[in-house]
Amino acid sequence: MNEEEIDLVTAVKSELEEIDIHDISEHAARFEALHEKLQESLKSIDNL
């Protein structure tokens, strides 16, 4: 895994851990944002 991939994984893990401290009404939007971030990363890996 290169440095960029490690940074992404670390950032996503941190965001997932922080979701619990936020109001439940914000969870869906935060999960959606993380989902989009991960999808974009996967697209870049697949060169789409």
pLDDT digits (tens, 9 = 90+) for 1-48: 788 878 888 998 999 999 988 899 999 999 999 999 889 888 887 775
Residue type for position 9:
V
Q: Which domain holds residue 31?
A: 3-46
pLDDT value at position 4?
A: 81
Give this prediction's pTM. 0.71
Burial annotation 14-45 (CB, 10 A radius, 16+ → b, else e): eeeeeeeeeeeeeeeeeeeeeeeeeeeeeeee
pLDDT of residue 48: 58
Q: What angle do CA 27, 29, 35 make, to 5 degrees?
A: 100
Total of domains in the chain: 1
- pLDDT, position 35: 93
Question: CA-CA distance, 38 to 15, in Å (whole number)?
Answer: 12
* Token pair for 41: 């990363």
